[in-house]
Amino acid sequence: MPVMVIGRDDRVGAVNPALESILGTGLVGKHYISALRQPSVVEAITTLRGGGAAGTVRYISRDGAKDTVYRVTVSPAGSDIVLSFEDQTASEDAGKMRRDFVANVSHELRTPLTALMGFIETLGGAARNDAAARDRFLGIMAHEASRMTRLVDDLLSLSRVEEDERVRPREHVDLPALLNSVIKGLEPQAADAGVTVVLDTADGSEMVQGDAGQLVQVFTNLIENGIKYGASGGIVKVTIHPRAMDLRLRAQAVQISIADKGEGIASHHIARLTERFYRVDSHRSREVGGTGLGLAIVKHIVNRHRGRLLIESEEGLGTTISVFLPI
């Protein structure tokens, strides 16, 4: 832990190398005001010198591209003062992520709730005796309620996936069989959207170590996205490539790619697509029943399988998302 000692003469008496990596070298002998410079810390020392209590303050080191936030404890040690620095960046980032997440979830739930409450009010009042309006409103209410259900389902699966991310799955799964059944399950949705889903694979089985339920979720999400966002291309092609050495994973891996010929994704969005609630077009996503959590869930499951995800897309030409699973 970075530590600094200030002597009774208010000059820096000693520092350790960890502290030098934050504040630089050549501090010993300098007055603490010129060594530390940030008012919060200087004030805490002055308070202590004036007979006040020990305390903790924030110190922000602006070094390079990113700020590092330290919690500095200023405490007396005889007639010296000891400053110890604790890096808070990780916990502050985690705190911010948690706050953002709660804000996002609340916002996502509020939209359907507001609609539901509006319709409940209308049904109790103006539309009470209007059978046609009642039927239409009930239809919309069912739609909004199922949106909330989908969101809650996705939130729960995200938290489950995060929970067991460190436990490597042990089942053995036959990929062609699994993909065939996923594609079968999505047939009605594909037909509605006018999309044909085809599976391209060599004959026979291709086994990977995995969690069958979670892999079904991965491929359902990816193929569903291909149907939802790639419908204009009319086809979603699922390919199981022959196993090969993957340099990034440093292991033999099988690559499963899901390719559509839809509108594609602009390159500046690609790196952020697996963030929770990140969507290229939120209106569009809501319209097709998206929660914005699908790819976040996919990424966590692929991580749990020690695999990797590759998103390639070209605007106007289509999107190919590949999952590499080590075998």
In the complex, which residues of this chain contact ligand ADP (CB under 6 A)? 221, 225-226, 229-230, 260, 262, 265, 273, 279-281, 285, 290-296, 319
Longest dimension (CA), the chain: 87
Query: Minimum distance between the CB of residue 291 and ligand ADP, rounded to whole angstroms?
Result: 5
Burial (0-12, 13-18, 19+ Cβ within 10 Å), 74: buried
Closer to ligand ADP by CB, 41 or 151: give it: 151
Query: Minimum distance between the CB of residue 67 and ligand ADP, rounded to whole angstroms?
Result: 29
Nearest to 54 by CA among 36, 28, 81: 81
Question: Is 147 in a helix, a strand, or coil?
Answer: helix
Query: Minimum distance between the CB of residue 299 and ligand ADP, rounded to whole angstroms?
Result: 9
Question: Please, are residues 237 and 200 in contact by the beta-carbon 8 Å criterion?
Answer: yes
Return the ∠ at Cα 306 (arms to 304 and 272), rounded to 5°: 75
Closer to ligand ADP by CB, 152 or 244: give it: 152
Helices (H), 194-244: 212-229
Burial (0-12, 13-18, 19+ Cβ within 10 Å), 210: buried
Query: Minimum distance between the CB of residue 163 and ligand ADP, rounded to whole angstroms?
Result: 19
Closer to ligand ADP by CB, 57 or 190: give it: 190
Closer to ligand ADP by CB, 210 or 294: give it: 294
Question: Please, are residues 293 and 150 in contact by the beta-carbon 8 Å criterion?
Answer: no
Query: Minimum distance between the CB of residue 326 and ligand ADP, rounded to whole angstroms?
Result: 24
Closer to ligand ADP by CB, 108 or 211: give it: 108
Give dist(CA 199, CA 53) in Å, integer: 71
Query: Minimum distance between the CB of residue 231 and ligand ADP, rounded to whole angstroms?
Result: 10
